[in-house]
Chains A and B, each alone.
Chain A
């Protein structure tokens, strides 16, 4: 199943910040981690990650540093900043509200065939 473009765009920032919260990382590894976490469902073209990382850096959510990879190639590493951590917490609150709403609006589980609306009617 392909996830819609807008939803991917909306999820990109919290997902990337969340991965960097696990520890500092670089572009290719971040993409690998996303593929691994989503079972390959959440995907965008590889290049698009970098403008996003640059935006997060400009906003002060992440810091970056050029290092040598084990193979001796230069590699740009990104690290979550304190400000980025609080932004991530903020994103998390917002997403859990949305998740909570969707959970209530949609059928509860596999055994729950009929859709119900969370309007206090049922």
Chain B
């Protein structure tokens, strides 16, 4: 008898392991830990006189229901597996899909029909505004106000936030729309001409409105619980993955449009106006919604790509910044550099913050610090040095030429990024030396989001009057 027992228990545990490992919420290490627990429990029960298979059954039962357990793991390791949480929201409908097939059309395929409808709505909103006003530059300036409400509506449909949240978000959209359209932006300076806008404050307000309303839309995505670090991190994840999908769609869409133009040109039909006036604006607006749907529905692909992207680009960016430091020390003429160069440096820092945030969002919080975290310390330190150089250059320029809207905006962005990077470096060093828990790094970045929102709001509402709408 005893010769048969031992393999029987191992076999039972092996099949139990097999079953547990299929759960996405549990890593192999988690299952190891549970197996160790299971074996302890079985040993105790066997010592109390039970047969091994009986003891195994009781031990498994006492672990609790697998669904509940994996939900609990998914809630704790939402970074590893936020997909589960997203899908859990609609798990009731998915269940209905499998068993009865009577779910409403709108809810099938994760709400693809709703997303497409809202995407078409966004495209129509853009074109309708263009026809009604006859001024393309108005469409460009209002692009966030025109397109993002559809994204907010999509989130509202998915998450069902409380009515108070929706009213607050709607009020924010209305306030931005009023500011963008009632401010008498003056096309005085002929030197600035970007996307049909010839007022620097109008360009800044457009960019500010996109950032501010994107973050406000995140409040709807959070379903009202926007104070929670977890939902904020989930929205950051969403933003990163949304960008990846949007860029992919844009590239493929662009290639397809080019091909279409070429093919029709070969039979002497010029479809360029149609592509430029209809496909491009409607496609760009609609793709916002399609990307959002893709993030919700097809995360598995990106789950594997996101860590790879950060792992590839963090070393490259670190190298680039180290080269930048060397070059600027050798030349020491950044102060004379053009404004474009300084704005480009600002963008470099934005990318550094994005790489940091994105790698945080893709990292398993339970892992101990490794080589990649040390590399990030180097990247952050290099970014700090670059930021100080840029700040010195900017202050010198404003000292020379006074404060213009552009310089003030990029200076403010720089100070904001410097504060973020400085404290993030401190936390990262602490994390590598095991003084700071990973949670602290996460909370710093999610807690910083309102600062971006605040600065974007200042650029939209305060800058135009202060700088005379120039």
Contacts and interface: CB of A to CB of B under 8 A. Distances in A.
B296 interface: no
A95 interface: no
Interface in B74-103: 75-77
Contacts of B436: 60
A50 B64 contact: no
Interface residues of A, number: 23
Interface string A1-43: 0000000000000000000000000111000000000000000
Residues of A contacting B: mostly? helix
Interface string B418-454: 0000000000000000001111100000000000000
A57 B40 CA distance: 22
B366 A28 contact: no
Given A28-B41, A76-B36, A54 B64 contact: no
B438 A58 contact: yes
Contacts of B72: 47-48, 51
Contacts of B41: 28, 46
Residues of B contacting A: mostly? helix
Interface in B217-252: none
Interface string B26-64: 000110111011011100000000000000000100111
B2 interface: no
B462 interface: no
Given A45-B64, A45-B68, A50 B440 contact: no
A55 interface: yes
Given A27-B33, A50-B33, A45 B63 contact: yes
Given A27-B36, A44-B64, A58-B76, 9 more contacts: A27-B37, A28-B37, A45-B62, A45-B63, A54-B73, A58-B438, A59-B439, A60-B437, A76-B36
8 contacts: A28-B41, A45-B62, A45-B65, A45-B68, A51-B69, A54-B30, A74-B32, A74-B36
Interface of A: 26-28, 44-48, 50-52, 54-55, 57-60, 69, 73-76, 83
Interface of B: 29-30, 32-34, 36-37, 39-41, 59, 62-65, 68-69, 72-73, 75-77, 365-366, 436-440
